[in-house]
């Protein structure tokens, strides 16, 4: 993207949303956002700087006292109205996502449905915002805990599942009584603006939810460095996450990081191979591989390797690319990402990888201008090869052969990441042995490497995060302070 302002006057422009209204960037600069399906200019988005971020934070700070003073039940009722508005406008939201991110329509609709479930769960937390009663060694002393808001929540979301990520962070932040300054993804700006407009229509007070558009540097960085931001939640790359942890940690901000993954998918010799191929393809290729939880390393027992490989190649070659209903995967979100994936595939080839299918951009005229990557299967790489270790965030999977379960576990754990994992086997003993020992925050058996639900904690080990968990009830620990209150009752 660049800030070329010599565009036709009818080009749609996506501004910031501050204090309940559209707000132009103070510097007057705009970024070009292109359609990932055909590389045509789609819109321009505010190229916000630190001044815009400071405006959003000041607005959130002014709105905090009144919002936090509402009872959690009342906050939950307002969030429930937002849920109702999301349901009414689900088709409009899904269409926006489909166009902005290049998702086929059924995938965009599925993302909306997931965001609504997320929102419903946390709206209901208004009636459950739980503490604990505690016993004491002192006679007559009664003690309990309560949850109180942190203050201003700085939320930074990616473009791969934009409305799901917005719901994932916004609803727990708001139900706990925080106000929000959200830095939208530059590749999915309009869905953030539509959601903001929807919250106002549903009755959320002005200033409680604010959106700043633009790039991670400077807009996202300004959100992280501002002393007034009490909690930072970021989903994105491990490199950026490390910087946020360092900068936020220096000023003792609460930081929640959900970062990258190089997730293993293990196929044992007793697996149902057809089911394993089905889930392996979904794990590797759905959403064009743009999932932190993508199953990008498939580890297969030697005795079934050839049979599995043949089935997976056939499945990958059968997948239909495009943005029409029924297509299996669309393009990646921008040209920079497409070129990065193609470069990673070429590096893998140079390091001894054999491209079994895919490996390039499609040549069909209806796809050639977009940011498409053919579903790609690669074998022959060593465990230390770059593509075996590095998250590529595209529809690319590597195959690895092992002799037994112990070797599969060793290879599964041989990366800096530890987000998700899956194993396919008919043996409960094997499944539980692996699930207990694999270095991952989520371990699935006879499923894909993804599949978090609103009430389930999601997060990883190692370079996949900093130990926090969102969503689920554990998200309340990210967005609230826990206070212990005690009182002494004297007889008579």
Residue 217's contacts (CB-CB under 8 Å, 6 or more residues apart) are none
Q: What pLDDT was estimated at residue 5? A: 32
3-state secondary structure of 129: coil
Question: What are residue 354's phi and psi, to 5 degrees?
Answer: -105, 125
Widest CA span of the chain, in angstroms?
Answer: 88
Active site amino acids:
258, 292
Q: Nearest Cα to 478, choosing from 452, 459, 461, 450?
A: 459
Q: What pLDDT was estimated at residue 30? A: 97
Instruction: Kindly list the averaged pLDDT for each block of 10 residues, start to end, along the chain of length 492.
Output: 41 96 96 97 97 98 98 97 98 97 96 96 93 92 95 96 95 98 97 98 98 95 96 95 95 94 97 98 96 96 98 98 96 97 97 97 95 98 94 97 98 96 97 97 96 89 92 93 94 69
Alpha-carbon distances, residue 310 vs 226, 275, 441 (angstroms): 53, 14, 31
Task: Let me know: does 468 contact 459? Beta carbons within 8 Å.
Answer: yes
Q: Structural domain boundaries of the chain? A: 13-259+466-482, 264-453
How many angstroms separate the CA atoms of 20 and 314, rounded? 51
The structure tokens listed for 303 are 């005795």
Q: What pLDDT was estimated at residue 492? A: 64
264-453 has the same fold as 13-259+466-482: no
How many angstroms separate the CA atoms of 112 and 118, rounded? 10
User: Would the CA dihedral through 337, 340, 346, 349 be positive or negative?
Assistant: negative
From first CA to last CA, the distance across the chain in angstroms is 74
Task: Let me know: does 378 contact 397? Beta carbons within 8 Å.
Answer: yes
Q: What pLDDT was estimated at residue 452? A: 81
CATH 3.40.309.10 fits 264-453, yes or no: yes
The CATH number given to 13-259+466-482 is 3.40.605.10
Measured N-to-C along each axis, helices 72-88 and 189-201 cross at an angle, to the nearest 10 degrees, of: 120
Q: What pLDDT was estimated at residue 325? A: 94
Q: What pLDDT was estimated at residue 451? A: 78
């Amino acid at each position: 993207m660049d800030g070329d302002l010599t565009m036709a006057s009818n080009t749609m422009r996506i501004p910031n949303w501050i204090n309940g209204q559209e707000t132009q960037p103070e510097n007057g600069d705009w970024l070009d956002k292109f359609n990932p399906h055909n590389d045509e200019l789609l819109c321009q988005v505010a190229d916000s700087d630190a001044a815009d971020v400071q405006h959003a934070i000041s607005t959130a700070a002014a709105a905090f006292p009144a919002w936090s003073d509402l009872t959690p039940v009342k906050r939950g009722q307002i969030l429930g109205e937002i849920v109702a508005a999301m349901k009414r406008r689900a088709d409009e939201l899904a269409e926006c996502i489909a166009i902005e991110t290049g998702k086929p329509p059924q995938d965009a609709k599925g993302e909306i449905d997931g965001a609504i479930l997320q929102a419903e769960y946390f709206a209901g937390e208004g009636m459950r915002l739980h503490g604990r009663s505690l016993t004491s060694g002192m006679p007559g002393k009664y003690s309990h805990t309560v949850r109180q808001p942190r203050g201003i929540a700085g939320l930074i979301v990616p473009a791969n599942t934009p409305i799901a990520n917005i719901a994932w962070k916004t609803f727990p932040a708001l139900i706990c009584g925080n106000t929000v300054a959200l830095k939208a993804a530059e590749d999915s700006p309009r869905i953030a603006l539509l959601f903001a407009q929807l919250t106002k229509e549903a009755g959320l007070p002005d200033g409680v939810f604010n959106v700043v558009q633009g790039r991670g540097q400077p807009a996202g960085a300004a959100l992280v460095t501002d002393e007034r931001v009490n909690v930072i939640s970021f989903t994105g790359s491990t490199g950026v996450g490390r910087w946020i942890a360092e900068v936020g940690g220096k000023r003792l901000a609460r930081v929640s990081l959900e970062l990258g993954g190089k997730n293993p998918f293990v196929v044992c010799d007793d697996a149902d191979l057809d089911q394993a191929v089905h889930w392996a393809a979904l794990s590797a290729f759905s959403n064009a591989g743009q999932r932190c939880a993508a199953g990008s390393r498939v580890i297969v027992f030697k005795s079934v390797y050839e049979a599995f490989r043949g089935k997976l190649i056939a499945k990958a070659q059968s997948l239909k690319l495009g943005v029409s209903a029924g297509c299996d995967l669309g393009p990646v979100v921008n040209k920079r990402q497409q070129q990065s994936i193609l470069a990673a595939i070429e590096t893998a080839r140079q390091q001894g990888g054999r491209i079994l299918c895919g490996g390039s951009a499609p040549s069909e005229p209806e796809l050639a201008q977009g940011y498409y990557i053919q579903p790609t299967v690669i074998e022959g790489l060593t465990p230390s090869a770059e593509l075996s270790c590095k998250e590529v965030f595209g529809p690319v999977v590597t195959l690895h052969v092992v002799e037994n379960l112990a070797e599969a576990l060793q290879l599964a754990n041989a990366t800096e990441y530890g987000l998700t994992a899956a194993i396919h086997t008919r043996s409960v003993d094997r499944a539980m042995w692996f699930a207990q020992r694999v270095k991952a925050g989520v371990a699935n058996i006879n499923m894909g490497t993804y599949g978090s639900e609103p009430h389930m904690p999601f997060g990883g080990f190692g370079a996949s995060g900093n130990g926090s968990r969102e969503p689920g009830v554990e998200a309340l620990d990210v967005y609230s302070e826990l206070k212990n209150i005690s009182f002494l009752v004297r007889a008579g």
